Amino acid sequence: MARSKVHPDHQFESWQVWPGSFRNPPPDGNYPFCKNFDLEITPSTPIASMGSCFAREMKRRLINKGFNYITEEIHHPAAVHASAAWERLYNTFSMRQVFEYTFEKFDPQIRWWQSPKSKKIQDPYRRSIIYDSLDDALKDFDRHIQHSQRALARARLLIITLGLTEIWEDKLDGSVICLPTGPYVKEGGDMSRYRFRVSRYSENLANLERIHEIMSQNNPECNLMVTVSPVHMWATFRKDADVISASCNSKCTLRAIADEFAARHKNVFYFPAFEMATIYRPMVGEFIFAEGEENFHVNKPTIKFIMSQFFKNYTTL
């Protein structure tokens, strides 16, 4: 009688086989990295980062370890999240717009919001940055562009953390605001020209390609490291999906995009922070979520583990 051999013999490296399956060693607290990458980071490597909340966590630990992390606009509260006052950038559209206004041109039809009651000026393209007057906004933004140029031009490694695929888009010119938030929204500002939608694979990949193109022109020696933030959505604006499904859609879409983006370019690398948090840590019996109201975030032990693997596998420490 003919038989089918379910698991034919192949020569795999241990990191190619699911931990603990058959005769492969079980999880031992060290993420099974594929080491087939040509990237070595030293403490002197100029590093910049931008993106979601997780970019802020990476920034803190790189600085604490004594790495050459680029810090511009240290006077600005929006700079706490990244290498300059880009604030938190949850989607690839907002990121692309940063590179465009930094090195080229970003000129949406509505550049500033003025709150109907308080008359405060708000930057809709950076998360809730508020000014007392338009003159203050214009002066600060001119300074911000200079800081942004310095940060991105100095970097030899730029870490980009991808967060969400949900966007709010200007229906007339296609610009994407960061979030419908701040005094303009709270005071009843007109939001009729903006539409919510879920962005898709091809357009997010195109945004990353545009970022790569701009960086190649303005800082060709810079490597890019892309990661998917393990911080889930707090809430979704979708009416056709629950928040858990919506968050998984965002993360899975961005993970697939990051894979193709890294495969296309020799100077783009993928760091599996999302996999470490959501798969590997539970495999070794660790709880990953933070406690309290922000339980969609990952907890401090998980962040510590992720960064320990970063330092072990990419740096000379």
Tell me if 231 is assigned to some domain. Answer: yes
Give the structural domain span for 265: 39-106+135-166+199-314
In this prediction, residue 3 has a pLDDT band, given cuts at 50, 70 and 90, of low
Task: Kindly tell me if the per-residue pLDDT of 36 is higher than 80.
Answer: no
Q: Is residue 69 part of a domain?
A: yes
pLDDT at 35: 77
Residue 31 domain-assigned?
no
Q: Is residue 298 part of a domain?
A: yes
Indicate if the pLDDT at residue 186 is higher than 90.
Answer: yes
Decide if pLDDT at 2 tops 70.
no
Q: Considering the entire predicted model, what is its pTM? A: 0.94
* Three-class HEC string of 264-287: HCCCEEECCHHHHHHHHHHHCCCC
pLDDT reported for residue 22: 86
CATH number, domain of 148, equals 3.40.50.1110
Place of tokens 């898709």: 200
- pLDDT score, position 8: 64
Task: Quote the pLDDT of residue 248.
Answer: 97
Residues 127-142 pLDDT 10s: 889 999 999 999 999 9
> Does the structure show a pLDDT above 70 at 4?
no
In a domain, 233, yes or no: yes
Least confident range of 4-8, 65-69, 107-111, 245-249: 4-8
Please indicate, yes or no, if residue 66 is contained in any of the structural domains: yes
Number of domain units in the chain: 1
Residue 86 lies in a domain: yes
CA-CA distances (angstroms) from residue 135 to 22, 94, 121, 200, 279?
67, 23, 9, 37, 49
Q: Using one digit for the tens of pLDDT, what is the confidence trace for 259-295?
A: 999 999 999 999 999 999 999 999 999 999 999 999 9
The candidate with the shortest Cα–Cα distance to 175, out of 159, 194, 157, is 194
| Mean pLDDT of the residues in the chain | 94
Amino acid at 2: A
Is the pLDDT confidence value at 107 over 80? yes
- Res 1: pLDDT: 61
Which residues are bridge partners to 69 per DSSP?
47
* 240 vs 127: CA distance, rounded Å: 26
Residue 22 lies in a domain: no
